[in-house]
């Protein structure tokens, strides 16, 4: 049976007793830990326009071993909420299901493991109805969405059947009366950081510059199994998961809909939105991001890397030595000459050489470079300052404001433009 090896290796056993319908086309997976706002997220999905397929929402209610009575009670409440929503808002083409994942080992417990439990279940359910191209969408228990969310996911895969995964447009709430002004100010800066990083990566010619937000991504069941499934990381699971898929192509942005992640304070993960917001408010200081000079140092190398296809080791060394000191030191540290030689040996032309180079210099290595540069040469700077500097290069004819919220609106507009990878 197709994919059987994946499930056999994991000794997988299905956790949901309800049999999936043969029309199953989308499964939305939601990790839920100590979450008081689950109902709002489920209601948001229930209010969506219905695509012409069966939709399931799987909520993985989880907590680690040794949890307090308060958290255990919250988990029980979450299970009741899922059951109640299914009875009141579910219908023949929309089911809300839950998986109780209690007392998870502390070593692995967290959002990555919870997503893995739910996504494995989703993939197995698609396998059981022979829908290998079924859509597994990731959502969060404090997130809401536009009413066309499910329909647009369906349309994307109808239009591009070979699509492996996508990132979904996201926008944090930046005003209102649900949160304090401090939180809204902080989330504006945090989203600025995410979009600054993304647009700076595109500006310097990095081909795989896509957002990797856990509540705003989806993949085909086929791709999920093909690339080894979700990891168990307690934070950053979204980045590591998508970085396995993105370099292999058939990855798209879904900008015709939008999800709205919560900007609230949280200390449930080692890093991420809630943690950053909490630290920003506690320090009463701006969020810092990578110095734009770090990105600019890489630009000449990435734009000219194709030339190394015909280069000898000596010429490669000369090419690296001509780069900015941050690039030269980083590539020396990471034995770039050996890696480039190996890439050259396994490619027959400059185009395939460039593609293979970026399988080596991927999103992980780009992040390592930026951390190296910030630790050794370019200190991080306030995100508003660096965003203005980047925009002055990208959009020299645009009147650039210093107002953070207006800057964010501009970056959101830039991110909505179709991004086409050219390799």
- Give me the residue spans of the domains in the chain: 4-179+209-287, 292-376
**CA-closest candidate to residue 330, choices 341, 318, 321:** 321
Q: Which residues, given as ranges, of the chain have pLDDT below 70?
A: 1, 264-278, 280-285, 422-423
* Structure tokens, 130: 């022979």
pLDDT of residue 395: 86
The span from the CA of 223 to the CA of 238, in Å, is: 15
* Buried/exposed code over 371-401 (b: 16+ C-beta within 10 A; e: otherwise): ebbbeebbebbbbbebbbbbbeeeeeeeebe
pLDDT given for residue 50 in this prediction: 97
Nearest CA among 138, 58, 65, 70 for reference residue 94:
58
What pLDDT does residue 274 have? Answer: 57
The set of residues, in sequence order, having a beta carbon less than 8 Å from that of 116 and lying 6+ positions away, is 229, 230, 231, 232
Residue 276 has a pLDDT of: 67
The pLDDT value recorded for residue 301 is 96
Assigned CATH for 4-179+209-287: 3.90.550.10
For residue 236, what pLDDT is reported?
Answer: 78
Q: Does this model's pTM top 0.85?
A: yes
Give the model's pLDDT for residue 273.
62
Q: According to the model, what pLDDT value does residue 232 have?
A: 84
246 secondary structure, DSSP code: G
- For every residue of 263-331, DSSP letters joined together read -----SSSSSHHHHHHHHHHHTSPPEE--HHHHHHHHHHHHHGGGGGG--HHHHHHHHHTS-HHHHHHH
């Amino acid at each position: 049976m197709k994919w059987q090896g994946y499930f056999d290796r994991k000794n997988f056993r299905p956790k949901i007793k309800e049999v999936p319908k043969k029309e199953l086309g989308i499964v939305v997976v939601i990790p839920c830990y100590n979450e008081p706002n689950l109902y709002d997220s489920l209601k948001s999905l229930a209010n969506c326009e219905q695509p012409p397929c069966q939709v399931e929402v799987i909520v993985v209610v989880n907590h680690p071993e040794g949890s307090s009575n308060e958290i255990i009670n919250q988990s029980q409440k979450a299970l009741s909420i899922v059951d109640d929503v299914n009875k009141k808002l579910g219908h023949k083409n929309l089911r809300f299901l839950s998986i109780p994942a209690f007392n998870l080992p502390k070593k692995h417990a967290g959002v990555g493991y919870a997503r893995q439990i739910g996504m494995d279940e989703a993939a197995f359910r698609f396998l059981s109805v022979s829908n290998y191209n079924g859509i597994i969408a990731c959502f969060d228990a404090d997130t809401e969405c536009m009413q066309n969310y499910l329909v647009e996911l369906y349309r994307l895969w109808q239009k591009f059947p070979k699509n492996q995964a996508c990132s979904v447009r996201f926008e944090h709430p930046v005003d209102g009366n649900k949160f304090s002004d401090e939180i809204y100010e902080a989330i504006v800066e945090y989203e600025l950081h995410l979009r600054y990083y993304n647009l700076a990566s595109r500006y310097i010619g990095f081909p795989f510059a896509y957002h990797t937000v856990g509540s705003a991504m989806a993949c085909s069941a086929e791709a999920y199994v093909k690339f080894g499934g979700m990891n168990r990381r307690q934070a950053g699971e979204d980045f590591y998961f998508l970085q396995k898929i993105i370099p292999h192509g058939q990855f798209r942005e879904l900008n015709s809909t939008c999800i709205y992640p919560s900007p609230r304070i949280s200390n449930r993960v080692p890093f991420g939105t809630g943690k950053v917001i909490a630290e920003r408010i506690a320090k009463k200081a701006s969020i810092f991001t990578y110095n734009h000079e770090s990105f600019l140092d890489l630009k000449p190398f990435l734009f000219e890397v194709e030339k190394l296809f015909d280069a000898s080791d000596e010429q490669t060394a000369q090419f690296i030595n001509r780069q900015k000191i941050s690039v030269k030191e980083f590539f020396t540290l990471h034995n770039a000459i050996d890696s480039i030689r190996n890439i050259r040996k396994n490619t027959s032309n400059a185009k395939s050489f460039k593609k293979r180079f970026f399988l080596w210099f991927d999103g992980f290595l780009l992040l390592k470079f930026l951390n190296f540069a910030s630790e050794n040469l370019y200190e991080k700077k306030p995100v508003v300052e660096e965003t203005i500097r980047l925009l002055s290069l990208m959009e020299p004819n645009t009147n650039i404001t210093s107002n953070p919220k207006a800057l964010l609106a501009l970056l959101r507009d830039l991110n909505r433009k179709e991004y086409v990878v050219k390799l």
